[in-house]
Amino acid sequence: METLSSLCTSQALMSGPSCSAIFCTSGSVSFTGFSLKTQAFSKKKHTLSFVKASVAVEQQTQEAKVALIRIGTRGSPLALAQAHETRDKLMASHSDLAEEGAIQIVIIKTTGDKIQSQPLADIGGKGLFTKEIDEALINGDIDIAVHSMKDVPTYLPEKTILPCNLPREDVRDAFISLSAASLADLPAGSVIGTASLRRKSQILHRYPSLSVEENFRGNVQTRLRKLNEGVVKATLLALAGLKRLNMTENVTSILPLDDMLPAVAQGAIGIACRSNDDKMVNYLASLNHEETRLAVACERAFLETLDGSCRTPIAGYARKDENGDCIFKGLVASPDGTRVLETSRKGPYAFDDMIAMGMDAGKELLSQAGPGFFDR
């Protein structure tokens, strides 16, 4: 994020070259972005107006004090919005954290942030957006780490735990286009921009006449700018991120869950700390949203059973129904979208039962898929 260099003071977190960080005093973050009016949709060409995201850091009027909590996060506008949401909830829940300077935010650049020229599936490995933050946590350079849960591998690094999920946002995907009201309205041969194999496979399964540009990466603002420049005809973004950035005016339409099942843990924020840090565990306990935590655990059990990665199109969603039971839906697909396998489960909304449901659903789809399924 270009504006950060003038607003934050650099602070070395790690001795090695693999981790770079920027320290920000606590303040406010404001995001302005594109404007796309879609309520009265017409076929004439629309334009997106773009204003770069900015971070406004309040000037400190008193001597800097030692922070009680240092929050580690990526530096994208969405990651910062999530870190500030975490900070605000901590300040509201604990009077000792409401004092000026009690909470500080440390921005850490991850492997996924550094390598923008390749599709995620080609970079390989797990933890592309979490590894350096986890290292800073383990080394004691930060006290808690705020993650988008869909970026977190199904295993956690030693000496860390993830005891807290904030209330989940809308899990659906948003369709954004300057020339069409929906995927169905796009002409044959139209190019959709998405770095997600999950989205690609489900798009091509329903609309095989469309084409997908996989190396369509960058933060929300970058992807909308590329759309505005005509690089692609449309893109899909997580509605949760657009809501957290107050950028829902860009949404052309929202995809039903039956048309586009979300990524595992989409819309959920997770907060990690060191396993031996009882003070942070107690702070985070006051923020945890148990319904979200259980749903995420069910979905991640499904993903872990499938041994999913960026190379495997996998979707999963657990929710509580009107009777208080858990409804889980899972999906695996071949990357080209020619085969899509789905399953569902229903059971008690309780941790052990939901873990068992996720695992059982994963085993079923593994059996159905057979060897070589993900190589298509």
pLDDT at 110: 87
Is the CB of residue 321 less than 8 Å from the CB of residue 347?
no
Q: Which tokens in the block code for residue 274?
A: 């060191």
pLDDT at 214: 86
pLDDT at 302: 97
Question: Is 151 an active-site residue?
Answer: yes
pLDDT at 51: 38
The CATH code of domain 65-166+268-288 reads: 3.40.190.10
Rounded Cα distance, 209 and 188, in Å: 5
Rounded Cα distance, 193 and 196, in Å: 9
Rounded Cα distance, 184 and 190, in Å: 11
238 forms bridges with which residues in the sheet?
173
369 forms bridges with which residues in the sheet?
none
CATH topology agreement for domains 173-254 and 290-375: no
Q: What share of the chain is helix, strand, coil (3-state, %, to 5)?
A: 30, 25, 45
- What pTM value is reported for the model? 0.82
Q: Residue ranges of the domains in the chain?
A: 65-166+268-288, 173-254, 290-375
Judging by DSSP bridges, how do beta strands 20-24 and 9-10 pair with one another? antiparallel
Rounded Cα distance, 265 and 138, in Å: 24
Residue with tokens 């060191």: 274
pLDDT at 219: 86
Is the CB of residue 180 less than 8 Å from the CB of residue 207?
no
63 CB-near residues (< 8 Å, 6+ apart): none
CA atoms within 13 A on the CB side of 122: 10
Both ends of the chain: CA-CA distance in Å?
37
Number of Cβ atoms within 10 Å of the Cβ of 228:
16
Is the CB of residue 309 less than 8 Å from the CB of residue 370?
no
Rounded Cα distance, 137 and 274, in Å: 7
Element (H, E) at 21: strand 20-24
240 CB-near residues (< 8 Å, 6+ apart): 168, 169, 170, 171, 266, 267
DSSP, collapsed to helix, strand or coil, labels residue 177 as strand
Is the CB of residue 247 less than 8 Å from the CB of residue 31?
yes
What is the DSSP secondary-structure string of 246-264?
T-GGG-SEE--TTTSPPPT
* Residue among 134, 141, 143, 151 flagged as catalytic: 151
Rounded Cα distance, 306 and 300, in Å: 10
Superfamily of domain 290-375: Porphobilinogen deaminase, C-terminal domain (3.30.160.40)
- What string of pLDDT tens digits covers the 376 residues of the chain? 333 333 333 333 333 333 445 555 444 333 334 444 343 344 334 445 443 433 333 333 333 568 999 999 999 999 999 999 999 999 999 999 999 999 999 999 988 767 665 655 555 656 788 999 999 999 999 999 999 999 999 999 999 999 999 999 999 999 999 999 999 999 999 999 998 999 999 999 999 999 999 888 788 999 999 999 999 999 999 999 999 999 999 999 999 999 999 999 999 999 999 999 999 999 999 999 999 999 999 999 999 999 865 568 999 999 999 999 999 999 999 989 999 999 999 999 999 999 999 999 999 999 999 887 766 5
pLDDT at 327: 98
Judging by DSSP bridges, how do beta strands 234-238 and 191-193 pair with one another? parallel
Rounded Cα distance, 185 and 178, in Å: 12
- Kindly report the CATH class assigned to 173-254: alpha beta
pLDDT at 10: 34
pLDDT at 308: 62
